[in-house]
Amino acid sequence: MHLNITKQTLIHFTKPDGFLERQVNGWVGRYRNVKTEEVPYMEELIEWIADHRPISQPPTFIHYDFHLKNVLFSENNLGEISGILDWEMSTVGDPLTDLASALVLWHEKDDPELFKNHLSNSPITLRPGFMTRNEYIEAYAKKSGRDVSNMNYYMVFGYFKHIVIMQQMYYRWRKGQTADERSKNLDSLVRELTQWAMEKTEEKF
């Protein structure tokens, strides 16, 4: 079956107007639903995210879970992307949220050790030849022509989403809904990443 999906069809189907506001409210709500204890700086972080939300970029089709682990590279040319996986979160919305999704897991040497190594003991972006986050943002701005002056907001919100995911996993472990022992110390990661994100509110990318 052939589907003729136009840009206007996607826009009307996904309701991009108010996308960023809905995302902020939705992720804050998810955190409230799985909160287990008071986390230092968490309420300040939530207040900052709510109060500093910028005017969204014109909507585009976004993957919304875009990072290196969802990218396949050509076997014959490692600089060429041959496929992108896991499109179930794709929608139409603010493209800078997609950029932030990639950068949240684009680790640098000065990132907190617990966050940097919780998924891998050797983040690939620490290896020689990889861009820094700022270089990535600059390259994106040059290629896309988009205004990235508010990128610190999108990065902080991206970290907050990651915090919520970690809290959800910890909540399920604490409630006995999973026996995965890897989740039992995620409360420490939530606290450290919350402080890290709060520090990032003062940073300009």
Contact 54/203 with Cβ under 8 angstroms? Answer: no
Global pTM?
0.87
DSSP conformation class of 96: H
Q: How confident is the model at residue 1 (pLDDT cuts 50, 70, 90)?
A: very low
CA–CA separation, 34 and 80 (whole Å)? 40
Show the tokens assigned to 140.
């994106």
Enclosing H/E stretch for 7:
helix 7-14
* Beta strands 81-84 and 71-73, pairing class: antiparallel
Domains of the chain, earliest start first: 7-200 (3.90.1200.10)
pLDDT digits (tens, 9 = 90+) for 99-150: 999 999 899 988 888 787 776 667 889 889 899 999 999 999 999 999 999 9
Helix, strand or coil, per DSSP, at residue 74: coil
Of residues 18 and 30, which shows the higher confidence score? Answer: 30
Q: Which of 3, 5, 21 lies closest to 13 in space, CA to CA?
A: 5
pLDDT over 90 percentage in the chain: 55
Alpha-carbon separation of residue 78 from 81, 82, 177, 178 (angstroms): 8, 9, 41, 38
pLDDT digits (tens, 9 = 90+) for 58-113: 888 888 888 888 888 888 877 788 888 988 888 889 999 999 999 998 999 888 88
Q: What is the pLDDT of residue 80?
A: 85
